[in-house]
Chain A
Amino acid sequence: MEMRRFIFEKKWLAFLMGIWVFAAACKKDKTLELDEFYRFKMVKELKLDTLDKKVYIMGFEETNSVLTARAFDAVKKQLNIPDEALKYYANGEELENGVFEPGEEGDYKIYAKLGSIVSDTISVRIWNKMNMKLVLKSEVPPGLVADGVSKAVFKPEIYLNGVLTTNGPSPEIYIDGEKISSTTFATKKAGLYEVQAKGFGLESEKVMLEILSPAKKLVLNYTLNSSVFWANNVSEATIGIQAFDINNQAIDLSEDVQLFHNGVLVAYPLKFKTNEVGLHNFVAKGYKIQSNEVSITAQDQGIYSIIRMPVVFHEVNTKELTATGIRDILANLTLAYRNSLNRSGGPKDGNAADVFVEFYAATTDPNGNTMSVPGLDRVTSTKSSFNINDTDTEAWNSFWNPETYINVWIFPNIKGDYASSSWAYFPAVTQYIKGLNMAEKGSRPYYPFGVFWNYNHKIYIEVLAHEVGHVLGLSHVFDGNGSSFESCSSDDPDYCPDTPYYDRNAYEKSLQGGSNKNYYRRTACSGEVYNSTNYMDYDYSYENSFTANQVSRMRFVTNYGLWIPTPFNQPSGGRRSAAAGMIKKPDGYIFTPPVICPIPK
């Protein structure tokens, strides 16, 4: 029993030993392929991360790249794959540490492997700068013009070892040294341009690009704001330049179109004024062509001898005029007749001209006595208010010889139709001029010749200038007077072609009601629209101009007109003594209404 148990125990121990030896003998490891690893078995897709570029240029940039890949399972979830398990290959050769280090130029196919799982393949091209050449090709339409739309298209080409490459990197285009952002170029400036492609430390040969002017024709013209271009610094010639393309279509002017005046570059647009008499030549240049030449003659308005006229103010009943006041009035009146008064500050007539007539206060009365206040004759009337006939009667009592003085009566309290008017008489002339009566030299005046200046107009020098204009033979620029206005006539109502005339009724109607009224604007019977500037117009007017034609008419009147203090009537020179005396009312005198001019509004 003991023995058996012992034997049994020995057998049992031997059995255990046998198992131990058996197990130990089998201890040596056997390994499986990496693909069999369970986590990798889950990999459905191995994706190699793309590189920044498809082409790397050796000698210009870093060509080595660290490769990375990612693994995804069947539901596209990224799996954690140890870097060590991934192998990378370029053209079939394993890369050390996953670094792509191309030693030489060539095309490389790169992929990753995880065990036997192969990623997608990416292609990388390595170019050696030493073997590259940049060539600039371009597509330039024949006759490329600088219209800002037509364009040249540049196609830079890269040659590698003499072979044209495709799908490579893009060089930059430089025009006259400046980089442009695209491969096309359009401009509005004609000229010769230098184009070059640059990139990767390489430069192409320079290519010259000629961009032609889009204009076939440049046309220069001008418009005047006056009938004659006067060298008065007021007449204005507006110079216009037009460009036409080959189809005769007008095109916008390019920046390089320039205007020359007598060969000197001037700014454009130009409103040309000058006081230089003579020929002014204009030409425009641009688009490599030249316009027609425009010649404008600036005319001298003529120089007349100055006529100085003494003025006497017959101040009826009121006692407001002073020596200073008279001096100021006449100084301003003189400025008006010397083309130098512009109290409104408005634009002047392009034909504005100097009358060369000046006014001063009379110093000697008709009796030859020195006047206590020069130019002032205080008159006392028994009447305190005056109708037109009263003024006429009163004037005959204080009518100084008009060939020695300009008589200016100042009446207060004018009643009736003339209550808000000033007025004057036209002179008579010894030589014919349209619009004035003729008389023999030496004829006595048959009306109180002079200016009736409404007391209420005293502050309006322009009214006095207007009335003196009548005295010197000028008519209103429109057809009519204070009593009535005519519509457009066929004849020029003031016989002066350089003053437009208009329908005064239509103008006044245009001021009634409505908005957007332009008080100074006139529409001439000719259709021309202009600003009223003439002293011989009614309100509203800038009242700052006599025109050249009006000056001619007044100078005709000073040459041949009766009853005006001119050398024609005073061969001795104007300072007549009292002998010239007072003018008596003719026998059988019948009052004739004068030219009526209403008070400014």
Chain B
Amino acid sequence: MIWLLILLGSSIARANFPGSNSHLSEPDSLKHKKKITDFVRFKAGVMMSSFYRPDISSSNGILTNPLWSWQAGIASDFFKRKYHYSRAELSFNTKGAKEYFTSDGVEIESINQFRNLQLSVLPVVLRAEPKKINPSVGVGFYFSQRLSGSSKTGINGEKVSEDPVSLSFFDVKQDFGIVLNLEVMYKKHPGIEIRYEAGLKSQSTLRDIKNRALVFSFIF
């Protein structure tokens, strides 16, 4: 199902990609037809994720050593006004971290990946006077439920392998957090989106450890 969405998303993306010569003359005709994309939009992209430990400043930050992964989903806008509207999204994503733990002579590589079903709600999205290029900014929150996970460990450069003990460390499977979203639309769509997600719920009862993610999406 996840892969089906990816294929769907990518084929639509190819069909409507800005700069694709075959469709440059078509935008006008889009105004006149009620397409499904007028109500439900598809989005897909990559995300960088990491864990955040409030008590350690020098942890593997989201930007210093991210876990790269994908995300895809659907979005719909509601309560559309001239300068603001609301948005709801349902997506599949993979969050986690790629981390290194060291002490003299030992280096442990740890990769944790958790696949989630995520509901994001942006009650307020602000936009300017509609033009050809339409930037917007939104804030909101998300809820997610872990569907599956894996922990892999490699010691001193060895190939990583499954580590169920480490996986058991992450004994919290729900998450919620806040969302900050920046979007730039070409006319009504397509557009690109940069989003920052900060988890508020610790993913382990043993340690205060929270999700952080930076998401780059195409939206159609």
A23 contact from B18, B63, B153, Cβ within 8 A: B63
Q: Check A41–B153 contact: CB distance below 8 A.
A: no
B186 close to A8 (CB less than 8 A): yes
B10 interfacial contact with A, CB 8 Å: no
Name B156's contact: one of A12, A41, A84 (CB within 8 Å). A84
**B194: nearest residue on chain A (CB-CB)?**
A19
Residue among A79, A84, A115 facing the most chain B CB atoms (10 A cut-off):
A84
* A-facing residues in B176-220 (Cβ within 8 Å): 186, 192, 194, 204, 206-207, 216
Q: Across the two chains, which residue of chain A brings its CB closest to B24?
A: A5
Interface status of A30 (Cβ within 8 A of chain B): yes
Asked if A32 is at the interface (CB within 8 A of a chain B CB), the reply is yes
Selected from B60, B61, B156, B166, the residue in CB contact (under 8 A) with A39 is B166
- In the bound complex, what is the Cα–Cα distance between A22 and B204 (angstroms)? 30
A84 adjacent to B64 (CB under 8 Å): no
Docked Cα-Cα span, A27 to B99, in Å, equals 12
Tell me if A31 counts as interface (CB < 8 A to partner B): yes
A116–B99 CA distance with the chains assembled, in angstroms: 19
Pairwise interchain contact B192-A32, C-beta atoms closer than 8 A: no
Number of interface residues of B (CB under 8 A): 45
Judge whether A30 and B101 touch: CB under 8 Å.
no
Chain B residues with Cβ below 8 Å from A85 are 103, 106, 108, 155
Which residues in B have their C-beta under 8 angstroms from that of A82? 106, 155
B165 touches A80 (CB 8 A): yes
Contact of A38 among B60, B156, B170 (CB under 8 A): B170
Residue of A nearest to B60 (CB): A30
B165 x A79 contact (CB < 8 A): yes
Q: Which residue of A lies closest to B63 (CB)?
A: A26
| A601 part of interface (Cβ distance < 8 Å) | no
Contacts of B78 in A (CB 8 A): none
Q: Which of B101, B112, B132 contacts A33 (CB 8 A)?
A: B101
- A89 to chain B minimum Cβ distance, whole angstroms, is 13
The docked-state distance in angstroms from the alpha carbon of A36 to that of B166 is 11
- Asked whether any CB of chain A lies closer than 8 Å to the CB of B102, the reply is yes
Judge whether A76 is part of the interface by a CB distance below 8 angstroms.
no
State which of B101, B163, B165, B167 has its C-beta within 8 Å of the C-beta of A36. B101
Distance from B214 Cβ to chain A, minimum over Cβ atoms (Å):
9
Q: Is A130 located at the chain interface by the 8 A CB criterion?
A: no
Output the nearest chain A residue to B186 by Cβ-Cβ distance. A8
Which residue on chain B has the smallest CB distance to residue A94?
B104
State A36–B97 Cα separation when bound (angstroms). Answer: 13
Q: Please measure, in the bound complex, the distance between the C-alpha atom of A36 and the C-alpha atom of B99, giving whole angstroms.
A: 10
Q: Are A29 and B65 in contact (CB under 8 A)?
A: yes
Question: Chain A residues with Cβ under 8 A from B48's Cβ?
Answer: 23
Q: Are A30 and B108 in contact (CB under 8 A)?
A: no
* Whole-angstrom CA separation of A29 from B66 in the bound complex: 10
Asked if A434 lies at the interface with its beta carbon under 8 angstroms from chain B, I say: no
Whole-angstrom CA separation of A82 from B155 in the bound complex: 8
Asked if A28 is at the interface of the complex by the 8 Å CB criterion, the answer is yes
Cα of A4 to Cα of B108 in the assembled complex, Å: 51
Q: Are B153 and A39 in contact (CB under 8 A)?
A: yes
Given A27-B65, A38-B165, A42-B206, 12 other A-B residues pairs in contact with their CB atoms under 8 A: A8-B132, A26-B65, A31-B100, A32-B100, A32-B102, A34-B106, A36-B56, A36-B101, A38-B170, A84-B106, A84-B155, A85-B108
Residues of B within 8 A of A (CB): 18-19, 24, 48, 53, 56, 58-61, 63-66, 99-103, 105-108, 110, 112, 132-133, 151, 153, 155-156, 163, 165-170, 186, 192, 194, 204, 206-207, 216
Give A contacts to B, CB under 8 Å: 4-5, 8-9, 12, 15, 19, 22-23, 26-34, 36-39, 41-42, 73, 79-80, 82, 84-85, 115
